[in-house]
C-alpha cells in the first residue's frame, strides 16, 4: 500500500470518529446563536421583582444585590465546571 492511501484512510477513520461530536457542537452553537438573538432584546427584571415593592427601598437594594451576586456566582461555577471538563478532555486525548 502507498503511504498516501494509508494517510487518507487514517484521516477518514479519524473524521468518522469526530464527525458526530463536531456536528452536535455545531448544532448547539447554532441554537445558542438563535437564543442570543432573542435575548438581545433585554430582560425587564423589575417585573419579576415587583413582589418586593412593598418593602423599604434599602431592603429592595439588598435583595437585588443578593440575587445579582447569586447569578454571578452561578455563572462562575458553570464556567469553572466547563473548564474542568475541557481540561479533563484535553488530558484524556493528550496521547493523541
Tell me: the pLDDT tens digits for 8-59?
Answer: 888 888 888 878 888 888 888 888 877 766 555 666 777 777 777 788 888 8
Whole-model pTM: value is 0.47
The answer to whether the CB of 52 falls within 8 A of the CB of 60 is yes
DSSP string computed for 48-61: TSGGGTTS-HHHHH
pLDDT value of position 96: 58
Instruction: State pLDDT tens for residues 12-25.
Output: 888 888 788 888 88
pLDDT single digits (tens) 46-93 = 777 777 778 888 888 898 899 889 999 999 999 999 999 998 888 877
* 38, containing H or E segment: helix 3-39
Amino acid at each position: 500500500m502507498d503511504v498516501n492511501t494509508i494517510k487518507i484512510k487514517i484521516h477518514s477513520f479519524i473524521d468518522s470518529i469526530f464527525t458526530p461530536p463536531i456536528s452536535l457542537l455545531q448544532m448547539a452553537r447554532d441554537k445558542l446563536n438563535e437564543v442570543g438573538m432573542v435575548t438581545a432584546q433585554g430582560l425587564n427584571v423589575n417585573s419579576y421583582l415587583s413582589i418586593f415593592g412593598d418593602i423599604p427601598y434599602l431592603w429592595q437594594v439588598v435583595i437585588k444585590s443578593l440575587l445579582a451576586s447569586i447569578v454571578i456566582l452561578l455563572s462562575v461555577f458553570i464556567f469553572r465546571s466547563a473548564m474542568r471538563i475541557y481540561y479533563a478532555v484535553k488530558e484524556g486525548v493528550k496521547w493523541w
